[in-house]
Structure 1
Amino acid sequence: MATFNLPPCFATINCANPEKADMVMPANVVPQNPYKTQPERAFWRASVGSRHYADLADIWHPMPLQKKDKIATAGSCFAQHIGNNLGARGAAFMDMEPAPPLFRSAADARRWGYGVFSCRYGNVYTTRQLIQLFDEAHGLRKPLEQVWEKNGRFYDSLRASIDPVGQDSAEIVLKLRERHLAAVRRMFAELDVFVFTMGLTEGWENTDDGTMFAVAPGTVAGTYDPARHRLNNLRHSDVLSDMVVFWKRLREVNANARMLLTVSPVPLAATATEHHVLVATTYSKSVLRSVAGELSEEFEDIHYFPSYEIISSHPARGMFFEADLRNVSMFGVDLVMNHFFSGSLAAEFGGKRENVDGEEIELICDESRLDRE
């Protein structure tokens, strides 16, 4: 039987360096397993698989936040829950365009875009909308298509849903937009924390200047023109670039600003791509979640809260969605908020609470109109 002589370095620490061939690892030395020093939350079986979902803990590292911090919100429909809960718990929620006294109730005012977000910009679904809003408010761009018409009434094309009946003329719309942009500019300059809920990658834009709208032309007002309007389904690089530019410009006007990112767990109401809406939703949320994670890792003052994971991950078994498997129930919202107000934030704002205002707020969602078309 043939015998084989192993090279001396076969049992050594580094065979790539023959000069170290005599450095044999002692038999009693065991390499350290890096997972041995990880906390319980790092292990699936201990922190998820063997727990009731209601007992999940330490799901995020709460960002530094005090009641005195001025907090502004923007984004998709789900962002309204965060703003509502922060305000109800005593946070300094910024309302830069308060409702006039003519409304009978806060619910009526919300249907006209008041009290929904910190300014009356309606849903800011995409990162492209966000950076364009910032740039317009600071005089860095001027959209070519600002006014839409429907049945002789005129609407702000970039926030068409905040005015249910429209205005008498395009001139009035433009004057109201100037007032709105001044409020947006003050908000960015004065805020301490900007909470942005990332909702969609799909958006309709003007082909001439790339202005992206909250809704497709023709859904709320205006007229869809294939030669003038196109779908832009933002890619990861687009979303990341938008957010990095926005963050840089925000810090230029507000050096101490911080940002909290979330991703909406609400699926797309409809897709304008060739894909099934389930596939389109997975793409959109995956891109947004990836970007949010990269930003929170890269920038010290950008934080991420995992509302998306709490509601949408498979251990939840879909229990936090309504029967349509799209809208999040108040039971789910309460769970998200209980995780949010944990740790240091529980000490500052109070611990676990049920629905803070005693009733379910009506979410103002432009995208939901697509289901009714």
Structure 2
Amino acid sequence: MFFTVVNIPKSSLQISYQSRILTLGSCFAENIGTKLQEAYFLSFINPFGVLYNPVSVAQSIRTLLDYREFSVDDLFQNGSLWNSFAHSSLFSATSADETLQKINSRLQAARYFLAETDVIMITLGTAWVFENMETGKVVANCHKLPANRFTRRRLSVAEIVSELSDVITLLRKRNPKLQFVFTVSPIRHWKDGAQENTVSKSSLHLAISELENTFESVHYFPAYEIMLDKLRDYRFYTSGMLHPSEQAVDYIWQRFSETYFNEETLELKKELEQLRADLNHRPIHPNTAESQAFQTAVEKKKNRLIERYPFLRERL
């Protein structure tokens, strides 16, 4: 055997098809959130877009909790685009009204989802932050503004723990049953430099360890360790050699499922993933008897699943 196995015990936290899961953080939060949605779980992905650092994640949670809408005063124009320092460029648009419509509609949907969320999965990407020199505030995205507009620094472990402890406490006051799954993104921030990337990831690990020791509701999933040990070969990375490949994400998703899903959930997940594959099948000759028979069989399979699990009616 030419790899080390990352042993992950079955978690005391069990996620089912009745669970509502909010994912926040880096690109890897989007990877797992997408996997959850593809398997027909109730998942809401990154309402502010991709967030890399712990302060931006904490700020996004505070924004979700304060029920304030964004206004034009929260935006800035750079070139042709209106942007928000709290959001990724996915929300940017050529008019302030369009940017605000994107931001506030997503915010409203996320607040509605959060009110009944069972699990928040937070993926931290880096301990490095950029602070706006005009306001002194950490930004989620620099939106291609000149570097001299920002101060770049690395958060201390204490700062990370303080920021995240604060929002965990706020969230648990509103929903005492809420659980948290933290991961460190396996995506390497190579622009920081090899050593600084390692120090940054180590700071995130130390902070999460402190949170685990402080809150019974905090759980850690070792996606980072799986990527660096079991999947350390470069064939498990995309062409840029920094992001996990589709095969790597599939394997980490498998380990995540084994950790947080019971046998019934795993079996239903398997059936639903097969159903999705069948529904996505595009026949070369759709008008043939064979193709129509296949479509009929798929529809029957879907209806049988809905009969067994009525809650799937709104998801399929």
TM-score w.r.t. length of structure 1: 0.64
Q: Give how far 1:265 is off.
A: 0.6
Classify 1:79/1:315 alpha carbon distance in 2 versus 1 (closer, same or farther; 3 Å).
Answer: closer
Q: Residue 196 of structure 2 corresponds to which residue in structure 1? A: 280
Classify 1:330/1:177 alpha carbon distance in 2 versus 1 (closer, same or farther; 3 Å).
Answer: closer
Q: Give how far 1:328 is off.
A: 0.8
User: Structure 1, unaligned stretches of length 5 or more?
Assistant: 1-50, 95-116, 272-276, 359-373
Quick one: which amino acid aligns to residue 42 of structure 2? A
Q: Residue 213 of structure 2 corresponds to which residue in structure 1? A: 297
Q: Per residue, is there more helix in 1 or in 2? A: 2
Classify 1:179/1:303 alpha carbon distance in 2 versus 1 (closer, same or farther; 3 Å).
Answer: same
Classify 1:209/1:183 alpha carbon distance in 2 versus 1 (closer, same or farther; 3 Å).
Answer: farther
Cα deviation digits, residues 143-168 of structure 1 (max 9, x gap): 9973232333322232241146x132
- In the TM superposition, 1:1-373 aligns within 5 A as 51=1, 53=3, 56=5, 58-62=7-11, 63-94=13-44, 117-119=45-47, 121-139=48-66, 146-163=74-91, 166-169=93-96, 173-174=99-100, 176-217=102-143, 219=144, 223-224=145-146, 226=148, 228-271=149-192, 277-313=193-229, 316-342=232-258, 345=261, 347-350=263-266
Match of 1:78, SS state, is helix
Quick one: which amino acid aligns to residue 129 of structure 1? S
Classify 1:344/1:328 alpha carbon distance in 2 versus 1 (closer, same or farther; 3 Å).
Answer: closer
Higher mean alpha-carbon deviation, 302-311 vs 83-92, is at 83-92
Quick one: which amino acid aligns to residue 267 of structure 1? R
Higher mean alpha-carbon deviation, 342-351 vs 187-196, is at 342-351
Q: 1:85, 1:154 → 2: CA distance?
A: 31
Q: 1:140, 1:314 → 2: CA distance?
A: 43
Work out whether residues 89 and 349 of structure 1, in 8 Å CA contact, stay in contact via their aligned partners in 2: no
User: Structure 2, unaligned stretches of length 5 or more?
Assistant: 278-316
Classify 1:348/1:83 alpha carbon distance in 2 versus 1 (closer, same or farther; 3 Å).
Answer: farther
Q: 2:213, 2:37 → 1: CA distance?
A: 28
Q: Give how far 1:319 is off.
A: 4.5
Superposition RMSD in Å? 3.0
Quick one: which amino acid aligns to residue 206 of structure 2? S
Q: Residue 369 of structure 1 corresponds to which residue in structure 2? A: none
Q: Give how far 1:316 is off.
A: 3.2
Larger radius of gyration: 1
Cα deviation digits, residues 279-336 of structure 1 (max 9, x gap): 1110111111222222223321111110100001388344422343211112211211
Quick one: which amino acid aligns to residue 159 of structure 2? D
Match of 1:316, SS state, is coil
Work out whether residues 54 and 160 of structure 2, in 8 Å CA contact, stay in contact via their aligned partners in 1: yes
Cα deviation digits, residues 59-92 of structure 1 (max 9, x gap): 2433321110111111100111211222223322
Cα deviation digits, residues 213-251 of structure 1 (max 9, x gap): 22224x1xxx4373x521132111111111111101111
Quick one: which amino acid aligns to residue 115 of structure 2? A
